[in-house]
Amino acid sequence: MDKKPHVAIVGATGAVGREMLTCLEERNFPLSKITLLASTRSAGKRLKFRNEALTVEELTVESFHGIDIALFSAGGGISKEFAPIAAEAGCIVIDNSSAFRMNPDVPLILPEINGRAALNPSRNIIANPNCSTIITLMGLAPLHQAFGLKGIIASTYQAVSGSGAQGIIELEEQIKALVAGNPLKTSVYPHQIAHNVIPHVDVFQETGYTKEEQKMLHESRKILGIPELKVTCTCVRVPVVRSHSISITAIFEKDPSVEDARKTFEGRRGIRLVDDPQKALYPVPLGTTGNDDCEVGRIRKDQVLPNALALWVVGDQIKKGAALNAVQIAEIL
């Protein structure tokens, strides 16, 4: 773009929308104007940006005239309805939902891996990957470039904020009830989440996998450009407020040593090596919460599969897993 863009955030009052606003300010994004859009219920709220209180406007079909870039974070239904309207109005949409990710005409962008594919999108729509996919591939991309990725076996440990504000509230209320000896209420999750883990994120499919688990397969193939990549994944909700963790076994074409694997992370953007187990140094959710970078550690040779490494990757799923990734795409534009 030749000029400073007029940027809109759709879903500005949600957790990811607010984080998008923070990222734009933290990174001094060169915008000429910003418009905050949300539902009728949220219209009229005030959010601070660069020492100015901005009023949230109601999202309508007329909202996108004069907008250059729209960051969408209001759910798949809103994206399916309003993203094509925004694109038709000449706005480039960066969508955080799953609505367009697997559309062959829509680029699915993780800037550190395939950022150039964001330039000149044919439909004026660019998709942001799923948060777990982003964090996983931030840890695997340097290794893939060095050794050639063939397969992924992953288990995710996903924070309750991935379910929105209600997930956090449910965890906190259940902890309070346990301390007070009161009955627990469950509504967001099918089981108690306090003092528990639940191997159920998103809807189960006929295969026995959930939609969240299948996203890791299909999105990784598209982002990395490896249509034959083998992926199996189990997604687990854990009683952590923020930041997702992923345990990974990665299988490669070449046989990587641990030392060579660690070297691939030197000087890489967006991923930090934290790997000294003897000093209890390894990634943990509290260490990445609020931070731009993901962290990787516990790198070791897999003891079952040939040419394979086991590793542990952690990242803030609201920041790099959603808001920051979208802002980075806007920076490319």
Strands 46-49 and 52-55: antiparallel
pLDDT at 2 > cutoff 70: no
Q: What is the C-alpha end-to-end distance of the chain, expressed in Å? A: 6
Region 170-197: mean pLDDT is 97
Which of these, 44, 51, 56, lies nearest to 12 by C-alpha position? 56
User: Which CATH number is 6-128+323-332 given?
Assistant: 3.40.50.720
Two tokens, residue 64: 């996108």
Long-range contacts of 23-30 (CB under 8 A, 24+ apart): 23/319, 23/323, 23/324, 23/327, 24/49, 24/327, 25/49, 25/50, 27/327, 27/331, 29/327, 29/330, 29/331, 30/4, 30/5
Region 22-43: mean pLDDT is 96
Give the domain ranges of the chain.
6-128+323-332, 133-317
- Summarize pLDDT for 123-135 with one digit per residue, the tens: 999 999 999 999 9
Annotated active-site residue 244? The verdict is yes
Catalytic residue among 144, 233, 235, 244: 244
How high is the pLDDT of residue 120?
83
- Summarize pLDDT for 241-296 with one digit per residue, the tens: 999 999 999 999 999 999 999 999 999 999 999 999 999 999 999 999 999 999 99
**What is d(CA 107, CA 115) in angstroms, rounded to the nearest whole number?**
10
Annotated active-site residue 191? The verdict is no
Work out the pLDDT band at 155, boundaries 50, 70, 90: very high
Which H or E run includes 49? strand 46-49
**107, 111, 246, 323 from 327: Cα distances, Å:** 15, 10, 23, 6
Catalytic residue among 23, 131, 233, 235: 131
Region 34-61: mean pLDDT is 96
Query: Is the pTM of the predicted complex or chain greater than 0.85?
Result: yes
How high is the pLDDT of residue 80?
97
How high is the pLDDT of residue 178?
97
pLDDT at 3 > cutoff 90: no
- Summarize pLDDT for 209-235 with one digit per residue, the tens: 999 999 999 999 999 999 999 999 999
- Summarize pLDDT for 55-113 with one digit per residue, the tens: 999 999 999 999 999 999 999 999 999 999 999 999 999 999 999 999 999 999 999 99
Work out the pLDDT band at 311, boundaries 50, 70, 90: very high
The CATH fold assigned to 133-317 is Dihydrodipicolinate Reductase; domain 2 (3.30.360)
The residue with tokens 């050794």 is 147
Percent over 90 (pLDDT), the chain = 98
pLDDT at 1 > cutoff 90: no
